[in-house]
Amino acid sequence: MLLRYSFRMYPNGPQRSALARAFGCARVVYNDALSAREAARAAGAPFPKTGELSKLLITEAKRTEERAWLGEVSAVVLQQSLRDLDTAYRNFFDGIHGKRPRIGAPRFKSRKENRQAIRFTANARWRITAGGDLSLPKIGKVRVKWSRALPSTPSSVTVVKDAAGRHFASFVVETGPVRELPATVNQVGIDLGLCHFAVLSDGTKIDSPRFLRRAEKKLKGAQQSLCRKKKGSRNRNKARLKFALAHARVADARREFHHQLSTKLIRENQAIAVESLAVRGLARTRLAKSVHDAGWSAFVAMLEYKAARCGRTFIRIGRFEPTSQKCSQCGTKDGPKALHIRIWTCRACGAVLDRDVNAAINVKKAAGLAVTACGAQVRPEPLVPAPRGETGTHRDGRPTVAGSAPLNGGRGSQYIETSLY
């Protein structure tokens, strides 16, 4: 599995200037290559190859007065900028042909974009020094705060500058063998919501932190301060960084909450079932801000890749499963209910049901976890006829063979959905 590790960097003044220069040079090469390909498309000519663009826009451009400053940064950074353009075109054409979700055509980059990034490969001869600094070509040794050790040696490093002006070193590494956790008999279904972020099938309710709602007052003040500043002034840039930092802190707190909760659920349960949610559709309703504040998709993605890494079972059920309409006691479908109805009584069996807990139990049952033991079959397999000597019944209903072996040895194949990061 590929995992991404990101660490905070603290460059000094000259190093920040060198990084800004590298960001600008990579952006210029990207825009020049995009302009060359769009000109070829308009003229009806074939797209120029990456090798041709590299020779024209990097090697020969360095010898001209207009682009002589391209030689002040590592050539690997400029080469990787061309690779990024190839990837953008490939994703665009794959979307047209139905190989992936459709995205827009590559666009020109602006120096005012919130996020900027450059990539150094092994050819750039970057390294991690004995003192823990990150040595980058033509930039120097940058101080990095390492929160953990990398599981393997990375082949490249991406330096990212976010909207708040913070710098990060991002590594994509391949992990070793699966780090399996001790087996447990616990299985859980999860119902995600807004009043409570998650409700478990055992009745546990996890409150929604609502990080964005709690920070709205501070964000409002930062936004008003930004709007009062004159465009293009230094004070406006300071206010913009303050506003971006406030938003970044909200996102960081939400991500930390997702990581802690997902890790806790993975450690305590052998199998986890969740319901697929139409987040894009819910984000077009009056609950859009609360839906985005919850961050369900990011949380479910964390559950998925952590389950694959730790040897747990992760199951998604379809979003059209009537988990909120069905009684978890008798299975009777009682019809749709308004959102304000949190507790209801089943008309068939008379059970008083909590809406969210009932939905979590139905999620667990729909995934096949409520009736199977730990590690048992969670996906239906073709039935195999049992031998006549193993099972059978008399007319009075008594079994022919007591204690007969379960079908297929009581074991079935587990299906784990993995996620590459």
What amino acid positions are annotated as catalytic residues? 191, 275, 356
What CA–CA distance (Å, rounded) separates 322 from 319?
A: 8
CA separation, residue 128 to residues 117, 158, 280, 282, 338 (Å): 19, 14, 41, 45, 57
Closest CA relative to residue 147, chosen from 118, 169, 116, 176: 169
Closest CA relative to residue 1, chosen from 178, 164, 262, 167: 178
DSSP bridge partners of 353: 344
Parallel, antiparallel, or unpaired for β 134-136 and 116-121?
unpaired
Residues 335 and 163 sit within 8 Å (Cβ to Cβ) = no
What H or E segment, with its residue span, contains residue 128? strand 127-128
Tally the residues of the chain.
Answer: 421
Q: Where are the alpha helices (DSSP H) in 269-407?
A: 279-282, 288-294, 296-310, 355-366
What CA–CA distance (Å, rounded) separates 26 from 79?
A: 8
What CA–CA distance (Å, rounded) separates 78 from 69?
A: 12
282: exposed, middle or buried (C-beta count within 10 Å: 0-12, 13-18, 19+)? middle
Neighbours of 220 (CB within 10 A): 11
